[in-house]
C-alpha cells in the first residue's frame, strides 16, 4: 500500500460511528514515555535521535495492529501535504508535522492508534475513537503501552512516575480528552458559563484553537490538567463525568431550540449557513467549518430532508487544506484558488441535503405548534 | 379614493422607469418658500400655522395635477403608519412625519409632486422623477412654483432672494439631488475616493443615512450645497455633470467585475446575498436592504435567470416597516415579529429569481472565458 493510498480517506472512515457521536466527535487518550538514561529530544544530538527512532521502530513491530497493516515511517519520508493531512486527521500534532529525519510515526490501518517518535518526548502514543468512549481509548492505549514496556526500557522514577520533557506531563504522562460539538450551547449563549464551571473543577474546556480564541465550528476540547499524584483510573472517570454533563447540557439546549415556537433561532442560523454554503463562490476553511457545524446540527436534528452524517463528515474533512489538495487534480497553489475551488465543492455538496425545514417534535406536536 | 387606497402602491408604481435607472434611482428638486410677513413655522403660534395651512391648501387647488386626482390632507388626518409609508416613498421628510394639526401635505396621483406645508418652511415643494432627470424635475417644480406664485405672496428679498427658516437655503431655496445605487464602486473599494473628489467641487455625496454612516444598500445621495449667489440653472447643470460622472464610474466598475475571470467577486457577493435572503428565518430591514442591493445589481447585470427589476422594486418597498405593516393582515406589533414575517416574504420572493449564474459578456466571450 502506497502512502497516498493509505492517506486517502475511505467511505468506511467517514462512516465511523461511536456512542453519543452527535455531540462527542472523538475520544482520545495519549501517553508520554521516554527511554531510560537518554536525553529528551530537545537536548539530544541527531545521532541520538536516530538511535531512539530505530529502537522504537523495532519495538513497534511487536504491536500486531501496526506491524501487519499499519504504517511506520520516518518524518522525512512525508511531503508537507502528507503531514498536513495527518494533522487534519488528528494523527500527529502540528509540532510533529514540522519534524524531519530523526523523528517518526506509526499508525494502524483503522487510524485509531498513532505513535509519534521524538516529538516533545521520545514516544507519544494515542488511541483515538469515534464518539464518547474515553475508557475504551484508555484500555486500548494501555494495552499498547504494556506491549511496548516489555521491549523498551522506560524512564520511570519510583516517586515521580514516568519522566517527561515537560513537567506538566510528569507522573502518569496521560492526557485524556474529548472533542465535543456544542452548537446548542453556543446558540443559547450558555457556553461560557459551562466552560467556567468545568475549569473550576480542574479540567480544561477550550475552543479547538486553544484558550482565548473563538471556538471554530462550535468545537471544544475537554481534557485533564493534572497528571501527577492521581491515578489514570480517576482521571478517566472524572473526564467521563464531565463529558456526560456536557452531553446533557447540550441535549437540553437542543431540546429548547426545537421546542421554540417555529424553531426560528435554529432555522435562521441553519438556513443562513445552508444559503451561504450553497451559493458562495469563494470561502476559506474557517468560515466553511463554522457553517458546516450548523449543517451538522441540522442533520442531527432532522432539519434537512436528505442530508446524512457521513455526507457532513466528508465535507468537514475535504474542505481542509491538506485533504483538499489531496483530492485536487490541479495544483491549487494560492489560498485564493483554494477558496474558489472549496466554494465550488461546497455548492455542489450542500444542495444534496435539501432545503432546511421545520421539524415536528414530541413537544411541538403536543402543543399543536 | 380612500387614503389607504391612495397609499397602496400599484404595479404601475413599482414598474416606473427612467433614464439610466440601473444606477440613478430617482432625481429630485425641492424648493423652499415662505409667505410674506408671517413668522417661520418654528416661531409661529398654532393659530398662525392654521391660517398658513389654510391659505396654502387653497392655493394648491390651482394646481390641476393635485386638485383633480391628488391628495390634500392635514397631518393630523394621517396615522403613524401612513406617515411612515409616506417617508418610505420619499414623499415627506422624517421631520414632517412628526407633525400634526397645523401642518399639511399635498401630493398628485403619480406621486411625482409633493408639497409639505409648515415643515421647516411654510412651503416645501418637490418633484421626484425615476431615473436620471434632474432637469425635468426642476422644470416640473418650477412650473408649480410659478402657478403658486400667482396666488401666494412669497417672502422675497431683492438682494438675498427667497427668505428661508435656515440660512443654508437662502437665495434660490433650491435643493437638487439624485439617489444613486453604486454597488460596483463599493465592491471595487473605490467609493470613498469618488466621494472625496465630488465633495471637493462643492457638492455632497452621502450614504442615505447621512454623513459618516455606512451607506445602507449601497445607496448614495448627491446634492448641491450652495443655494445663494448662484442661478438655479447652474446648480442643475453642475449636478447633471456630477451624476453623469458617477454613472460612468459605476458602469466602469461593473464592467471590471464582469470581465474578471469567472466573475468570482461578483458571484460571491450576489450568491451569498441570494443564499441568505432565500434561507433566513429572521431579518431586519437594514440587513435585507443591503442584500437586496446586491440582488438588484445581479438583475441589472443579467446574473439571475428569471428576476426582473419590478420584482426587486417591490421587495425594496415591501420590506420597509410602514409598507410591511400596510400589507400585513395580522398586526405585527414587535420588531421580532416583523423580522420573522419579513424573512418569510423574502424567502418566497427571492426564489423566483432563480440561482445566480455566470453571464457571458462581449469581453468574456472574446477572451474565451
Q: Which 251-270 residues of chain B touch chain A by CB within 8 A?
A: 262, 264-265, 267-268
B201 touches chain A (CB under 8 A): no
Last residue of a domain, one of A141, A171, A201: A171
Question: Do B156 and B272 fall within a single domain?
Answer: no
Contacts of A271 in chain B (CB under 8 A): 279-281
Indicate whether B94 belongs to any domain.
Answer: yes
A305 touches chain B (CB under 8 A): no
Q: Check whether B351 has a pLDDT greater than 60.
A: yes
Q: Which of B271, B275, B340 sits opposite A264 (nearest CB)?
A: B340
Q: Check whether B210 has a pLDDT greater than 80.
A: no
Contacts of B288 in chain A (CB under 8 A): none
Question: Do A161 and A286 fall within a single domain?
Answer: no
Could you please report the per-residue DSSP string of B73-84? EEGGGS-HHHHH
Tell me the angle at which helices B134-151 and B46-60 cross, rounded to the nearest 10 degrees: 110
Last residue of a domain, one of B109, B141, B171: B171
Question: Do B142 and B273 fall within a single domain?
Answer: no
Indicate whether A209 belongs to any domain.
Answer: no
Question: Do A266 and A154 fall within a single domain?
Answer: no
Question: Do B1 and B147 fall within a single domain?
Answer: yes
**CB spacing of A340 vs B267 below 8 angstroms:** no
Q: Which of A274, A275, A340 sits opposite B264 (nearest CB)?
A: A340
Q: How confident is the model at residue B335 (pLDDT cuts 50, 70, 90)?
A: confident
Report percent pLDDT > 90 for chain B.
73
The domain tally of chain A equals 2
- Indicate if the alpha-carbon torsion angle B22, B23, B25, B27 is positive or negative: negative
Beta pairing, strands B104-107 & B24-33:
unpaired
Alpha helices, H only, chain A: 3-7, 11-14, 46-60, 64-69, 80-88, 94-97, 134-151, 183-187, 191-200, 232-259, 264-277, 285-300, 309-318, 321-327, 335-351, 362-366
Indicate whether A202 belongs to any domain.
Answer: no
Last residue of a domain, one of A171, A188, A209: A171
CB within 8 Å of B10: residues ≥ 6 apart: none
Q: Which of B265, B268, B280 sits opposite A272 (nearest CB)?
A: B280
Predicted complex ipTM: 0.88
Which range has the worst mean pLDDT, A133-142, A357-366, B13-22, B227-236?
A357-366
Cα separation, B203 vs B223, whole angstroms: 6
Cα separation, B343 vs B283, whole angstroms: 5
**CB spacing of B272 vs A262 below 8 angstroms:** no
Question: Do A157 and A268 fall within a single domain?
Answer: no
Q: Check whether B211 has a pLDDT greater than 60.
A: no
Q: Are A117 and A56 in contact (CB under 8 A)?
A: yes
**CB spacing of A268 vs B262 below 8 angstroms:** no
**CB spacing of A276 vs B272 below 8 angstroms:** yes
Question: Do A267 and A138 fall within a single domain?
Answer: no
Question: Do A33 and A149 fall within a single domain?
Answer: yes
- Angle, vertex CA A16, rays to CA A13 and CA A17, nearest 5: 170
Structural domain span for residue B110: 1-17+25-171
Indicate whether B98 belongs to any domain.
Answer: yes
A279 touches chain B (CB under 8 A): yes
Better-predicted residue by pLDDT, B2 or B357 = B357
Question: Do B7 and B139 fall within a single domain?
Answer: yes
| CATH code where residue B45 lies | 3.30.590.10
Contacts of B262 in chain A (CB under 8 A): 281, 340
Q: Which of the residue ranges A55-59, B80-84, B283-287 has the most confident prediction, judged by mean pLDDT? A: A55-59
Cβ-based burial of B36 (10 A; exposed 0-12, middle 13-18, buried ≥19): exposed
B329 touches chain A (CB under 8 A): no
Calculate mean pLDDT across residues B321-329.
81
A349 touches chain B (CB under 8 A): no
Average pLDDT, chain B: 91
Q: Are A96 and A116 in contact (CB under 8 A)?
A: yes
Q: Are B343 and B282 in contact (CB under 8 A)?
A: yes
Indicate whether B295 belongs to any domain.
Answer: yes
In sequence order, the β-bridge partners of residue A222 are A178, A205
Question: Do B4 and B144 fall within a single domain?
Answer: yes
Q: Check whether B366 has a pLDDT greater than 50.
A: no
Question: Do B12 and B126 fall within a single domain?
Answer: yes
Q: Are B36 and B155 in contact (CB under 8 A)?
A: yes
| Backbone φ, ψ for residue A264 (5° rounding) | -60, -50
Report percent pLDDT > 70 for chain B.
95
Indicate whether A225 belongs to any domain.
Answer: no
Indicate whether B132 belongs to any domain.
Answer: yes
Cα separation, B146 vs B35, whole angstroms: 14
Indicate whether B237 belongs to any domain.
Answer: no
**CB spacing of A268 vs B343 below 8 angstroms:** yes
Contacts of B265 in chain A (CB under 8 A): 282
Chain A nearest C-alpha distance from B349 (Å) = 15
Q: Check whether B14 has a pLDDT greater than 90.
A: no
What is chain A's pLDDT, residue by residue, as a tens digit (369 residues)? Answer: 567 777 777 778 888 899 999 999 999 999 999 999 999 999 999 999 999 999 999 999 999 989 988 999 999 999 999 999 999 999 999 999 999 999 999 999 999 999 999 999 999 999 999 999 999 999 999 999 999 999 999 999 999 999 999 988 889 999 999 999 999 999 999 999 999 999 888 888 888 764 445 678 999 999 998 878 889 999 999 999 999 999 999 999 999 999 998 899 999 999 999 999 999 999 998 899 999 999 999 999 999 999 888 899 999 988 888 888 887 766 677 889 989 999 999 999 999 999 999 998 765 444 433
Q: Which of A262, A268, A279 sits opposite B271 (nearest CB)?
A: A279
**CB spacing of A271 vs B280 below 8 angstroms:** yes
Question: Do B271 and B125 fall within a single domain?
Answer: no
Cα separation, B293 vs A67, whole angstroms: 62
Amino acid at each position: 500500500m502506497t502512502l497516498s493510498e493509505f492517506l486517502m480517506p475511505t467511505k468506511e472512515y467517514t462512516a465511523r460511528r461511536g456512542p453519543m457521536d452527535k455531540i462527542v466527535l472523538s475520544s482520545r487518550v495519549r501517553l508520554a514515555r521516554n527511554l531510560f538514561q537518554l536525553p529528551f529530544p530537545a537536548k539530544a544530538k541527531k545521532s541520538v535521535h536516530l538511535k531512539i527512532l530505530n529502537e522504537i521502530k523495532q519495538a513497534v513491530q511487536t504491536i500486531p495492529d501496526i506491524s501487519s497493516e499499519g504504517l511506520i515511517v520516518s518524518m522525512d519520508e512525508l511531503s508537507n501535504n502528507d503531514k498536513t493531512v495527518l494533522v487534519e486527521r488528528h494523527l500527529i500534532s502540528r509540532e510533529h508535522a514540522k519534524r524531519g529525519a530523526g523523528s517518526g510515526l506509526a499508525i494502524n490501518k483503522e487510524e485509531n492508534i498513532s505513535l509519534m517518535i521524538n516529538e516533545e518526548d521520545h514516544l507519544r502514543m494515542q488511541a483515538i475513537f469515534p464518539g464518547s468512549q474515553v475508557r475504551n481509548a484508555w484500555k486500548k492505549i494501555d494495552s499498547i503501552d504494556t506491549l511496548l514496556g516489555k521491549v523498551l526500557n522506560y524512564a520511570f522514577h519510583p516517586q515521580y512516575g514516568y519522566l517527561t520533557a515537560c513537567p506538566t506531563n510528569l507522573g502518569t504522562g496521560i492526557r485524556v480528552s474529548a472533542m465535543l460539538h456544542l452548537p446548542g450551547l453556543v446558540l443559547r449563549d450558555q457556553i461560557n458559563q459551562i466552560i467556567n464551571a468545568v475549569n473550576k473543577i480542574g479540567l480544561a474546556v477550550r475552543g479547538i484553537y486553544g484558550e482565548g480564541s473563538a471556538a471554530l465550528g462550535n468545537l471544544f476540547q475537554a481534557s485533564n490538567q493534572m497528571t501527577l499524584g492521581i491515578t489514570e483510573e480517576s482521571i478517566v472517570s472524572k473526564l467521563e463525568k464531565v463529558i456526560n454533563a456536557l452531553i446533557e447540557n447540550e441535549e437540553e439546549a437542543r431540546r429548547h431550540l426545537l421546542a421554540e415556537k417555529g424553531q426560528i433561532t435554529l432555522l435562521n442560523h441553519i438556513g443562513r449557513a445552508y444559503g451561504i454554503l450553497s451559493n458562495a463562490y469563494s470561502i476559506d476553511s474557517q468560515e466553511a467549518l463554522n457553517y458546516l457545524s450548523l449543517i451538522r446540527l441540522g442533520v442531527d436534528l432532522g432539519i434537512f430532508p436528505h442530508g446524512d452524517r457521513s455526507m457532513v463528515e466528508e465535507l468537514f474533512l475535504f474542505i481542509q487544506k491538506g485533504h483538499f489538495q489531496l483530492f485536487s487534480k490541479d495544483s491549487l497553489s494560492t489560498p485564493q484558488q483554494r477558496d474558489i475551488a472549496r466554494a465550488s465543492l461546497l455548492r455542489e455538496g450542500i444542495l444534496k441535503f435539501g432545503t432546511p425545514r421545520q421539524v415536528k417534535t414530541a413537544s411541538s406536536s403536543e402543543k399543536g405548534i
